[in-house]
Every structure is written in C-alpha cells, then in structure tokens.
Amino acid sequence: MKKVVILGAGISGLSTAYWFKKNNIDFLILEKENHVGGSMQTICKEGFQIDFGPNSGLETSPFIRQIVDDIGFSNEMIYANDSANKRYILRNNKLHALPTSPIDFIKTKLFSTKAKLRLFAEPFIGKSNDGYYQSIAEFVKRRLGKEFLDYAIDPFVSGVFAGDPNKLSVKSAFPKLYRLEEVYGGLIKGLIKGAKERKQRNEQSKQNAKMFSFINGMQSFAYAISDTMKENIFLNTTVEKVEKFNDKWKVIYSIKNETKELIADYVISTIPIYSAEKIFGHLNKEFKSHAEEIYYPPVMVLFLGYNKNQIERPLDGFGFLIPSLEKKNYLGAIWSSTIFQNRCDETKSAFTLFVGGARNYYLFNQENDKLIESVIKEFQKTMKISGEPILIEHKLWHKAIPQYNLGYIEHENFFDKFEKENKGIILSGNYRGGISVGDCIKNSELNFKKCIN
C-alpha cells in the first residue's frame, strides 16, 4: 500500500515528489533507468562538462528557488553571465546580434528597412478568432510580416521546441504571445501596457527571468533532490500497467525480471505520453490516438570542445540560431563556456549544437558520422575556427521534445476528461503545461494539489 506512486524520476517526477516529502505524505517513485534526471543528463569528459539535455533553465517560478534552498543546494546554483543576454541570428552566413533597444533595431542589418517599417502596421491589425488552430507562423506573418517570421520567430521556435512554426499552435505552444493579442489587441500595445501594469504591481516580466544552471550541470540538481528521498525511489523499475483495484489503483511493475505490484490511492505519471499509452491505454480507447498524435521529433545534441586559440570570433553571447532559409544542417549553437563557469578550463571553449528537430528529421537517414562531419564544417566556417575539435561528443534523442501542434487542445481536453473519469490518476510531464524545466517544476505543485484537495 502506498498513498502516492509517481512514475518517472525526471525533473517532473522529482519536483512532484518534493511536495509530498515536504508534507510528510507517503510516496514512492518508480524509474525505469538506473539513474534519475530523465532528459537532464550531464557527463564530464577530458576536462569538459557536457549537458546532453537542458543546458539551463529560466527562473520563471518561485518554486525553483524554493526547492533549491530547501534541499540545501543554493551554493551550487549559478546564473548566466551578463554577456549571455546577447544572442545572434545567422543571415547570409553572417552573425547578427538580435537588437535589444530601439536604436539597435534601427541600426541592425538583420532586418531590411521594409521589414522594419512593416512593424508600424502591427498595432492596427485586428484579432483572429482561430485561437488554438492558428500556427505561430500564420500569427507572426499576419501581425509582423514574413521577414520577422523568417529571421526572428522561425529560429526562436527551433531554439525552444526544435519545432516547425507552420505546425505549432500559437495558443498552445506560446500562450503568452497569443495573450498579448487576445487581451491587449496587439503585440506592441501588449508589451507597452503589460510593462506599465507590471510596474504598478511591482512585478518582474517573465522575459527578464534569470537563466540558471548548477556548478556541476543540470543533472546534479536531479541528484540533489533524489538524495533527500533515496529510500522512496526504486531505480531499474519499469512500470508496465496501472489497473483499477476497488477505489484504488494497482501498479504493476517489473524489477530485475520479476513482476511485482502495489496498491496506491494516487498514481502520478510523469513519463512521456508514448510510454504512458502502454500503461493507461486500456482504461480509455481514445488514449492511444491522442498519445500517438503528439509528435516528439528526433534531436541530436553535438558537443564540441576547442582550444581557445583556435577560435577567431569573440565569444560575446549566448550563441546563435539559424533560420531555415539559411539551409544549414544544424539549428544553432550555444556558446556553453561563455554562459556558465566550470564548463571547461580557461584555455578552452565549449559549444553545444542542436541538429534535426521537426523540420529536419530526415537528416538522420544518413550515417551519424557523416552528418556530424558536415555540421562541424559549417559551424567552424561561421565561427572562424581553425583545426579540429579537441573533443566531439554526441547524443541522439530519438524522441526529444513533444510538439504542441495545431489541434493540441483536443489532447489537453482529453487528458482533463481522462483524469475526471479515472479519479486518482494524474497525467503530467512535459507534454502537458509547458516543456521547459521551469514549467515542469511549476506543474509539480499542481500535481500535489490535485492529490490533497
């Protein structure tokens, strides 16, 4: 008998468990792998620290700091260097800094004069009623024009979702952006009025949320949470099925080739939806089609280490993103050792590149080695790097990030209905309520509240 069983020990599962631990409520986490962290994966090799999953988080929820402080991990939390505020976009093989002030905007060569003038029309463009069925591409093209879509939003969408702007629903995937039109009638009006309102309420904009990581990388945070609840976590434990058992739930799981079961009042699933389908699908015949429709494109994370003296370009920013029109084999690069300390020693530089995603999934039809070679060639040309990398490491995520595509609202509605019909089961994880580390942590408190109310 357990009060609460949590499936999965990624950041969603661990942060959910934090609330039960804090409130002295009996719980158990079942995790299929031999380690915690899920997508958070950090390794050290030849003096470089490599994050194969999230490289950082945005401090969008006060719960992040609360958990860090409560588990005694404050001294390990680090914030990005100021230079990380500068971000570049590749256009015509040149890196252009994204403008951060009106003067920069007037001066930038990233956008043509025509595209800049087009912005003046934005406040006069009416609302659309397409809501959830409008793509981020349609939304931006209508409000800001095609060039903004191509050279600002398209690369931004790659950076967040590794997604396709023609498929992602603006209201599901970028609710805050959509809200500016819905509430204020436009993006420019919304930014100005929103800033005024926040000033009156003495609040900070979410866009100013601080970027954080940890001295020993993102996975160290997962380990630190799990260290406070070791006796409550079963590793190497695959959940096979969850069945109704009177007014409770029977969780069937396998550990070391043995099948076992336990009874729980609440089952909180934080595993990806394609895995959840095998476990809960028999409870509702619609489950399968909803689970199958949420697409997780493949993404390769390519880590490159160099000696500093190989690099001609100053590393004065977060990194750069690549619009699809530029036709490169990768989505962009993070200048990892510029953003955070401890990624390598002073004489070296570390970079994390992203390859594939929803628009470029076909790239993995070729040999990985060939693809990596072509990406390194393109990257070194842009960065003016000579010689070979001193370290090359990669990880291919076959199913990386769930896409909140057009029609995603129907999945959300189904998950709500499923929870109502199956009291005690909670479906959570990054396919619901936001994909970022910050959103997963914010949602953990909601998971807890669903059990105690």
Ligand X SMILES: Cc1cc2nc3c(=O)[nH]c(=O)nc-3n(C[C@H](O)[C@H](O)[C@H](O)COP(=O)(O)OP(=O)(O)OC[C@H]3O[C@@H](n4cnc5c(N)ncnc54)[C@H](O)[C@@H]3O)c2cc1C
Helices (H) and strands (E) in the chain, counts: 17, 19
Q: Which of 28, 90, 426, 435 binds ligand X (CB under 6 A)?
A: 435
Q: Which of 61, 337, 360, 430 binds ligand X (CB under 6 A)?
A: 430
Q: What radius of gyration, in Å, describes the C-alpha atoms of the chain?
A: 23
Provide the minimum distance between the beta carbon of 224 and ligand X in the complex, in angstroms, as a whole number.
Answer: 15
| Sign, CA torsion 339/341/345/347 | positive
Position 275 contacts ligand X (CB under 6 A): yes
Q: Which of 64, 294, 299, 406 binds ligand X (CB under 6 A)?
A: 299
Three-state SS for 201? helix
The count of other CB atoms within 10 Å of the CB of residue 340 is: 23
| Span of 59-67, 117-125, 241-249, 432-440 interacting with ligand X by CB under 6 A | 432-440
Position 61 contacts ligand X (CB under 6 A): no
| Distance (Å, whole) CA 433 – CA 411 | 12
Q: Which two tokens stand for residue 240?
A: 């096979």
Q: Which of 424, 408, 171, 426 is nearest to 290 (CA)?
A: 408
| Span of 118-126, 136-144, 189-197, 437-445 interacting with ligand X by CB under 6 A | 437-445
Position 254 contacts ligand X (CB under 6 A): no
Q: Which of 436, 445, 446, 450 binds ligand X (CB under 6 A)?
A: 436
Q: Which is nearer to ligand X, 7 or 149 (CB)?
A: 7
Please give the DSSP secondary-structure letter assigned to residue 169: B
Q: Which is nearer to ligand X, 148 or 287 (CB)?
A: 287
Listing DSSP states for 57-82 in one string gives EE--SHHHHHHHHHTT-GGGEEE--G
Q: Which of 118, 108, 191 is nearest to 148 (CA)?
A: 118
Position 403 contacts ligand X (CB under 6 A): no
Q: Which residue do the tokens 């058992």 mark?
A: 245
Cite the DSSP H helix spans in 268-407. 273-280, 287-293, 336-339, 368-383
Position 40 contacts ligand X (CB under 6 A): yes
Provide the minimum distance between the beta carbon of 393 and ligand X in the complex, in angstroms, as a whole number.
Answer: 13
Q: Which residue do the tokens 């009874």 mark?
A: 263
| Distance (Å, whole) CA 453 – CA 433 | 20
| Span of 48-56, 59-67, 325-333, 357-365 interacting with ligand X by CB under 6 A | 48-56
Q: Which two tokens stand for residue 115?
A: 């595209």
Position 11 contacts ligand X (CB under 6 A): yes
Q: Which is nearer to ligand X, 110 or 426 (CB)?
A: 426
Q: Which is nearer to ligand X, 197 or 243 (CB)?
A: 243
Provide the minimum distance between the beta carbon of 29 and ligand X in the complex, in angstroms, as a whole number.
Answer: 9
Three-state SS for 40? coil
Position 273 contacts ligand X (CB under 6 A): no
| Distance (Å, whole) CA 405 – CA 136 | 10
| Span of 36-44, 112-120, 257-265, 283-291 interacting with ligand X by CB under 6 A | 36-44
Position 168 contacts ligand X (CB under 6 A): no
Position 54 contacts ligand X (CB under 6 A): yes
Q: Which of 110, 140, 400, 427 binds ligand X (CB under 6 A)?
A: 400
Q: Which of 38, 145, 190, 356 binds ligand X (CB under 6 A)?
A: 38
Provide the minimum distance between the beta carbon of 65 and ligand X in the complex, in angstroms, as a whole number.
Answer: 15
Q: Is 424 left (phi over 0), alpha (psi -120 to 50) or beta?
A: left
Read off the amino acid at residue 16.
Answer: T
Q: Which of 311, 401, 441, 451 binds ligand X (CB under 6 A)?
A: 401
List interacting residues with ligand X (CB under 6 A). Answer: 7-13, 30-33, 38-40, 53-57, 238-239, 270-272, 275, 299, 301, 397, 400-401, 429-430, 435-438, 440
